[in-house]
Amino acid sequence: MSDIVEDTPTTGQKFTAETLGTFVLVFFGCGAAVYSGGDLVATALTFGLTVVVMAYAVGRISGGHFNPAVTLGAVLGGRLPWNQVGIYMAAQLLGGLLAGAMLFGLGNGFDGFTAEGNMGQNFFGDQGSGYAWWAALLLEILLTAIFLWIILAVTDERNEINVALGPLAIGLSLAMIHFVAIPLTGTSVNPARSIGVGVFAGTDAIVQLWLFVVAPLLGAAIAGLTYPILFGQGAAPVAGSGLNFSGGKKDQFVPGSYEAQWNQGQQGGWGQPGAAWGAPPQQQWGQPDPYQQQPPPQQQPDPYSTPQAAPQPGQWGQPAPQQQPPAQPGQWGAPQQPGQQPQQPGQSAPGHWGNPDGDDDGRTQVRRPD
C-alpha cells in the first residue's frame, strides 16, 4: 500500500508550481529590466519580490525553488531526493522559456522593436560592461553559493525563525545580490532565468549562455556540499539525496507545507521545534526508533480489585522501622514486674520527664523548695 495521502502534493502539482513560479520570476524580473530602462533599484526589487510572492503562493507545493541552481543545492545538501531533480529542472526551464517567449511577443507591440540585446539578458566582456569572463565566472559562482547558503540556513529545520519570514529573507537576499551584480553581469545566479530570455536576445547572448549555466551550478554545488560541513546536518539527509544516487522513497509522505517541502518529512519542520505538520517521526541519533515495537509497560495491580500485601519492614521504598528501647518498669504502658515494690513518695520514677516525684497511684506531688 502506498503511504501517499491527499495532503501530499503530486508530481504534476510540483511541476506546475515550479513552472508558474519560474515564469513569474523571469517575466516580471526581466520585464522590469527592459521596460524600466535598466533601473537598478526597480529591477533588483522586482526580482526579490517575485520570489517572495511566489514562495508564499506555491511554496507549500514544491518548496518554491524556481531555479535549477537552488534545486541542485537542495539535493546535494540532503533536502531533496535525486529522483525529483529532473521534474524540478524541466519545469523551471519551461517556465523560463515561456516567460522569454511572452516578453518577446509583447515587445513586438512597439514599432521597430528588436529583441537582440533588449531582453534583459546576461552579459560579460565586449557584449556588456566589459567585465572579463573569468571575473564574471567567479562572481556568479560566489553569489550563487552565498544565495544557496542563505536558503539552506533559512529553511534549516533547526532554525526557529517564524515560518512566514523564510520567503521574505530569501527574496531580500536575491534583491541584495542584484544590487551588486546588475552593473557587471546583469545577475544570473539562475540558469533558467538566463536561458529563458537569452535564446531570444540574439547570437551573442546565446554564445555567452555557457557561463551563466556553469557558474550558478558550480556555486550551488559548493554550497550544497559544504553547508552540512560548515553548519551541521541536523536531521539525517533525505533518502536518495546528497552523494547517494540510489533514489528516494517514492511513497514518502511529504505534507503540503513550505517547511515540509524543504525538509521532505523529516522529524521537525522548518522553523518548528517539534515534528513537521503531519510528518511521520524519524529516528534521530541516540534516540529509539519510533517505529520499533516497544515492550508493553508493566501492569500495576488495581488496588480496588486485588488485595495488596502489607509492605514488609526494610523493603525497598519503605522506611526502616526505628528500634524502640524496651519499656522500663514503672513507665506508662509497661507491665509491672512480679514482686516489684511500688515507688515511694520522694523517689524519682525513671523515664518520667518533668515528673520529679511519683507515687503508686500516679498522682503528682509538689515538694517544698527546702
C-alpha cell at 77: 545538501
277 belongs to a structural domain: no
**CA dihedral for 30, 35, 40, 43, sign (positive or negative):** negative
Q: Is 275 part of a structural domain of the chain?
A: no
What does the block give as the cell for 180?
551588486
Residue 360 domain flag: no
Contact yes or no for 220/25 (Cβ under 8 A): no
Do the domain assignments include residue 70?
yes
Say if 318 falls within a structural domain: no
pLDDT tens by residue, 90-147: 999 999 999 999 999 999 999 999 999 999 999 999 877 899 999 999 999 999 999 9
CB atoms within 10 A of CB 229: 8
For residue 188, being part of any structural domain is answered with: yes
Q: What is the CA radius of gyration of the chain?
A: 40
Q: How many residues does the chain have?
A: 370
Please tell me what DSSP assigns to residue 350. Answer: T
Amino acid occupying residue 208: Q
Residues of the chain with pLDDT under 70: 1-6, 163, 245-370
Contact in structure between 212 and 128 (CB atoms under 8 Å): no
| Predicted local distance difference test score (pLDDT) of residue 304 | 52
CATH number of the domain at 93, please. 1.20.1080.10
Domain carrying residue 146: 11-107+114-263
DSSP annotation of 285 reads T
Burial class (CB in 10 A: 0-12, 13-18, 19+), 291: exposed
* 3-class SS of residue 79: coil
Q: Does 5 map to a domain?
A: no
Q: Are 196 and 29 in contact (CB under 8 A)?
A: no
For residue 198, give the nearest of 121, 305, 253, 145 by alpha carbon: 121
* Integer Cα distance of 260 and 59 in angstroms: 10
Q: Name 18's Cβ contacts closer than 8 Å, sequence gap at least 6.
A: 62, 65, 66, 87, 88, 91, 92, 95
CA 98/CA 80 separation, integer angstroms:
26
d(CA 332, CA 159): 74
pLDDT of residue 179: 97
- Answer yes or no: is 369 within a domain: no
Q: How many domains does the chain have?
A: 1
